[in-house]
Structure 1
Amino acid sequence: MLALGMRIPEELLHFIWRFQLFRPFHLQTSCGKSVEVISPGRYNVDAGPDFLFSELLIDKQRWYGHVELHVESKEWMLHRHHQDPAYNSVILHVVWTGDSSCYLSDGTWIPNLILNNQVEEGLLGKAMDLLHNGNWLACAYRMKHIPMHVKLQAIQRSAVERLESKTMQIMTLLERYNGDWERVTLSLIAGSFGFKVNKQAFLDWSELISLRILSKISDKPLQIQAMFFGQAGYLNAYKGKDSSVLNLKNEYHFLKHSNGLSEMTSFQWKFLRMRPYNFPTLKMAQLAGLYSLHINWFSRILNVYAIEDLKQEIRDIVIPTFWRRHYHFEKCTDDHNTALTEAFLDILAINCFAPLLFAYGKHIRQANYMDKAMEWLERIAAEDNVISRNYRKAGLPSYSAMESQGLIHLQSNYCDVKRCLSCPIGAYILQQPLSF
């Protein structure tokens, strides 16, 4: 068993206070004043005291204010809280050990409540087993005992957090593009067409594309193809004699000189160790087909009710017949399909369409857009990847893209960094009777 005098993580002390996992009776400050916790307060993850708006009875007098926690009482002075007016509303200093005197910046003395003798030793042992076992998924050894509603809570909360995280990235793009949602949409769509290998190249390319010019040529698919391939640098690098490609070169020459366009170099695009169907040339042809269908994809995303309707529109894009015998410009191949796969349509919905809807709804404070985004993700099948398979084996299956996205966020933001005490599953384990 663990010794009660051991050094515990501060996050565990926060957890104990937050869920009041201590003996509630006969609590006393180090100076002998009785303490009764009416409300532990609101857990604060930002700067300032750890718990805000707590309600306590100290020596039978009711107090409202903030509570600060430290493993050792001397940390109050080490962190210079005695010099920070933001801590002047602290009414109690909760510590694991130590009895160093603590003062507010105005000189007011505040009491210490020491908890190391008020917590069951078995709870500490269970917490350390959870935080320090060798499993890649710390809670795996208890997973079969966790109720399904707790598992779903962990996954769904994590999925929303992932959407919130993507919203922050989208807001950064929105500021960069001076509030132009269509430009943000082009950037997100282009990045998805590049997958991991060519994502940055597609993003760099999207910076060169003028939506104003696209609007002018919206009814001219050939010119859209010419502009997309030309600004990617492919046409400048082409040395062959195929008439359809030479036609694109002529169209781009006109567009370039009449609009002052500049292009990338073809060396920025990667082909090695890629499946031909994912070559950036074929993906660019598909992307040009997408923008030949509609220029204002953000407006389409907002106005379409069902994700299946949007996917059906994209299935109808037209790809030039040249690409049925080519994966890139230089070499002819056997005839092959050029349509976007169902898996890729799901990638667009998961990485572009749903996050854009969610971010827009949050930006304008319209919950119906956010709800629609989450409904779209719930209607898409779960992604099949290493992360989802590992969680399924551990007892956390996913049945929709909303849930598989939640697992991706759960792994990188909770499981990998051992934030078990901030996860509903970890919280459930520690709040159960010690025999659990």
Structure 2
Amino acid sequence: MLFTEDFLHYVWQFRLFNRINLRTTEGEELEIYSVGLHNKNAGPDFQNARIRIGETTWAGNAEIHIASSDWQRHGHTADGAYDNVILHVVYNDDVPLLRTDGKRVPTFELKDRISADLHHRYHGLVFGNQSIIPCEGSISAVDGITMQNWLTRILVERLEKRSEVVITALNQNRGDWEETFYQFLAANFGFKVNALPFELLAKSLPQNILAKHKNNALQIEALVFGQAGFLNEDFADAYPLALKQEYAFLQKKYKLTPIENHLWKFMRMRPQNFPTIRLAQFAGLIMQSHHLFSKILETGDVKMLRGLFADIKVNQYWETHYRFDKESKPSAKSLGAASIDTILLNTVVLFLFSYGRHLQLQHFTSRALKLLENIPAEQNNITSDFVNLGLNIRSAFESQAFIELKNSYCNYKKCLQCGVGIKILKPS
């Protein structure tokens, strides 16, 4: 039956083998006091193990292989990091393993000590032909405590990975949290389709320039649309003509270079999500929010956080337009509730968590997790698949965790590193 070395790690770590009359392959009595700590970095697989062989108690490392011959095949013979291995745990002891002094490395063989049932369940999980996730037939039966604990753990993993990107940008911005938040917020205003041009726009138009024109809406809008590359055409309407004239002066004053207009995507988008509308909303947010990230740090109430992005005042020109010089039926252009929640999820939560983690202020990381509990669950292909498997996804806390579960564990069949997979495989 097929299995991987990870399976043997799992069997050893949780002692899922027949423990009656344990002996080394040379017949010496073996007692395992501690299997050691699983090492996922370079070096022996389990560190600080503690065992007794015969009359002698040993403390050191344990190394796991499918076959004894894998020791030499993996290059451990000449590696000093493996000199203190006190036990070689193998499925099949195919060749004797000798140290450099000629003495045999104590070896423990698992071949006849793993139950056929465990083998079968593992094989079905990792090598089966499931269409969605490896444990799709079992995951709905996992108890709520196990599931919730694992979802919490991998959600934190997800936020920790994403926060590394924030800290890299923070360092590039010389520790300026407001500027870094502004850049990420801009990218998320473009959502997935126009995230890149929005990010480039923010980087080409720093906040210190915008701050000088906070009291002049036309100038803020001119800077935003001009830097976005939308003011290079000949216009008929008075509003874009005024923007173009204003931008020409500001561009020369600050020596600005607009981004390429062709980067913006309009195809297959609802007009409400056109980049022109998002830019108008972004300009409105700039006008009515000063030191926005500082306000977010001071705002603990979810309703108040949403209020920071609600009722953004957009120039009345956009009430009857989706693009310059193209009139349309009147409609409100404020940010919808779903868009606000997306911004809270992808920017505010991420920055609260990153800020707390970077400065070791647990209050903010806890606030980030609490905020996720108060944001509706995302609806996408991944969350729909889990719902179809019989799972309840009640908030963004859970939807984000399930996305991480699918992308980082299920897709790579890391069942033996997954709390859910371990629970399913453990004997009842």
Shorter-chain TM-score range: over 0.9
Amino acid at match of 2:218: L
TM-score, normalised by the number of residues in structure 1: 0.93
1:334 is displaced (CA, Å) by 0.4
Contact 1:43 1:51 in 2 (8 A): yes
Matched position secondary structure for 1:426: helix
Q: Which residue of 1 aligns with 2:86?
A: 91
Contact 2:179 2:206 in 1 (8 A): no
Q: Deviations over 1:311-368 (max 9, x none)?
A: 1121132111011111121311000111101101111111111111111111111111
Contact 1:83 1:104 in 2 (8 A): no
Amino acid at match of 2:47: L
Contact 2:22 2:29 in 1 (8 A): yes
Residues of 2 paired with 1:161 and 1:315: CA distance?
Answer: 31
Matched position secondary structure for 1:315: coil
* Aligned residues between the structures: 427
Residues of 2 paired with 1:377 and 1:106: CA distance?
Answer: 58
Q: Which residue of 1 aligns with 2:159?
A: 163
Matched position secondary structure for 1:71: strand
2:212 pairs, out of 211, 216, 223, with 216
Contact 1:185 1:298 in 2 (8 A): yes
1:36 pairs, out of 11, 25, 31, with 31
Q: Which residue of 2 aligns with 1:360?
A: 355
Q: Which residue of 2 aligns with 1:187?
A: 183
Whether 1:430 and 2:401 are equivalent positions in the alignment is no
1:15 is displaced (CA, Å) by 0.8
1:375 is displaced (CA, Å) by 0.4
Residues of 1 paired with 2:98 and 2:302: CA distance?
Answer: 58
Residues of 1 paired with 2:167 and 2:259: CA distance?
Answer: 27
1:161 is displaced (CA, Å) by 1.5
Q: Which residue of 1 aligns with 2:321?
A: 326
TM-score, normalised by the number of residues in structure 2: 0.95
- Structure-to-structure mapping, 1:30-429, within 5 angstroms: 30-102=25-97, 109-135=104-130, 136-236=132-232, 238-429=233-424
Matched position secondary structure for 1:228: helix
Contact 2:311 2:335 in 1 (8 A): no
**What are structure 2's unaligned runs of at least 5 residues?**
none
1:13 is displaced (CA, Å) by 0.8
CA change 1:112–1:345 in 2 (3 A) is same
Residues of 1 paired with 2:100 and 2:245: CA distance?
Answer: 74
1:41 is displaced (CA, Å) by 1.5
1:177 is displaced (CA, Å) by 2.5
Q: Deviations over 1:190-221 (max 9, x none)?
A: 22111222111212222201222122223332
Amino acid at match of 2:415: C
CA change 1:197–1:144 in 2 (3 A) is closer
1:101 is displaced (CA, Å) by 3.8
Contact 2:228 2:259 in 1 (8 A): yes
1:186 is displaced (CA, Å) by 1.9
Residues of 1 paired with 2:370 and 2:259: CA distance?
Answer: 39
Percent identity, aligned pairs only? 36
CA change 1:297–1:46 in 2 (3 A) is farther
1:143 is displaced (CA, Å) by 3.1
**What are structure 1's unaligned runs of at least 5 residues?**
1-5
